[in-house]
Structure 1
Amino acid sequence: MLEDAPLSLDDGGGGKSLLIAGPPMTGKYDLMLRLLADAGERGVLITTGDPAERVRSDYADVAGVDPESVGIVDCVSKQRGGDLLEDDLVRYASSPKNVTDIGMKFTDLYEVFRDFDVPVGVGIHSLSELLMYLDPQDVYQFVRVLTRQVQSEGWTTVAVIGSTMHDEQTLHTMYEPFDTVINTREQDGARELRVRERQQASTAWTTF
């Protein structure tokens, strides 16, 4: 799906953790979905801004799978009230403020998806929502534990952060737990990305 970009999850990509960082309207969410679809046969997404049904449908459309096969940790619907989906693969955290509860709900789904014995892509959309409520160190610790948990199964994590919403110190704190940082931008009407692996220089900007 990303043939023209300097980024591939094939050939040993399992177990990687990637953070997509960029301004609004630069394709971060769509890129996350595409990378997750490449990363595994199944998907589990932690959504901090949109309800389970929407995120599940978006991922299923990109991956070409049944929406009901997608695992979701929904961090917003309980807080907003209203009807909740009754589903074996949807878990509802109390709010984006409670990373302990989010982590517990994710671990619950993690145990379920381990039994499928297939590669899984885990998405977090987005860290910026968590940082609206929480100290960067708390979000950092949550991400560090989660990425290690996911990596222990050889699965891939793809998270998103809005680069213009946070200061440089916060951004660099969020970069640290990830193997790869993907920056996005819009240039002359085209969406572009560049990739920086840990301890390496960034690639050139490439359209995607």
Structure 2
Amino acid sequence: MATRHGSRYEFPGLPVESVDAGTNLLLTGPALGGTRELLLRLLLGEDGVLVITADTSARNVLEAFEGVGGRLDRERVRVVSCTQERADDLGEFVASVGSPGDLTGIGIEYSSQYEQVYARGYDTVRTGIYTLTPLLVYSEDVRPVFRFINTVTSRIRTADGLGVCAIDPSAHDERVVNSIAQPFDARVDVREREGALELRVTGMPDQPGEWTAVPALS
């Protein structure tokens, strides 16, 4: 299980070296190619967990988080859902926003949930966004999404948190992906090869720069 020691976040079981508190990672890979699994595994630990989901329901996110070994704890786990799917029975686990295009609403709910988790004693929070693609599709302009991401990553950096955001590069022009990547400290490319998940990291030293196998969940 991932843990945090001192000023660094660690990821046991994954071929990713520990990173400084305040680090933001951009995951790039196909939506159905293991990217969500890797994102959720990077969020594992005893820290607070916040997931903004834009293209799969909050229920699926929570089930998938449990599926990779996450512990569902109402004190520290929150989902901000903008998929328009009702999840009334999930109670305080979920805060809903009407549309992936409502970036202001997403930002407000994210800040509110972050403050609630922090108030419960979790001063380290891991944030995941899965994925940025619907936000870009609804916006039809990269600039508002860039400003939103810049605001979120700045908050994570200031609060000594960890940010992990995913995007499907095949769904966007390369210039859009490069623009979105600017606020992030490193890029983690994800792919499936012969049924196995692989990753490589660019933009950060002491990380696997070549394609490296990701151990399967035990």
Q: TM-score, normalised by structure 1?
A: 0.87
Superposed displacement of residue 129, structure 1 = 1.0
* Deviations 1:92-149 (CA, angstroms, capped at 9, x unpaired): 1111011001000101101111222342110100000111111111111100001111
Amino acid at match of 2:186: T
Equivalent pairs: percent with the same residue? Answer: 29
1:155 aligns with 2:161: yes
User: Cα gap change, 1:155/1:174 in structure 2, threshold over 3 Å: closer, same or farther?
Assistant: same
1:142 equivalenced with 2:151 (yes/no)? no
The one-letter code of the counterpart of 1:92 is S
Counterpart of 1:48 (choices 54, 59, 68) is 54
Looking at structure 1, the residues matched to 188 and 208 of structure 2 have their Cα atoms a distance apart, in angstroms, of: 9
Q: For 1:125, which of 122, 125, 130 is the aligned residue?
A: 130
Aligned residues of 1:45 and 1:73 also touching (Cα < 8 A): yes
Matched-pair contact (CA < 8 Å) for 2:186–2:203: yes
Q: Which amino acid aligns with 1:121?
A: R
Return the letter of the residue paired with 1:84.
Answer: D
Query: Match of 1:23?
Result: 30
Measured against aligned partners, the alpha-carbon deviations of 1:31-83 in whole angstroms (never above 9, x if no partner) come to 00000115x52211001112222212222333431253420101013xx5x56
Residue type at the aligned position of 1:139:
V
Is the helix fraction higher in 1 or 2? 1
Q: How does the TM-score come out when normalised to structure 2?
A: 0.83
Contact 2:47 2:122 in 1 (8 A): no
Alpha-carbon distance change, 193 to 86 in structure 1, aligned in 2, over 3 angstroms: closer
In structure 2, what is the equivalent of residue 105 of structure 1? 109
The alignment's C-alpha RMSD in Å is 2.4
**3-state secondary structure, aligned to 1:64:** coil
SS in 2 for 1:174: helix
In structure 2, the CA distance between the partners of 1:137 and 1:66, relative to structure 1 (3 Å rule), is same
Shift of the 60–6 alpha-carbon distance from structure 1 to 2, 3 Å rule, reads: closer
1: CA distance, partners of 2:197 / 2:69: 21
Looking at structure 1, the residues matched to 34 and 92 of structure 2 have their Cα atoms a distance apart, in angstroms, of 30
Task: Name whichever of 16-25 and 185-194 sits farther off.
Answer: 185-194
Cα 1:201–1:176 change in 2 (3 A) is farther
Stretch deviating more after TM superposition (96-105 or 189-198): 189-198
Q: Which of 17, 38, 42 in structure 2 is aligned with 1:8?
A: 17
SS at match of 2:95: strand
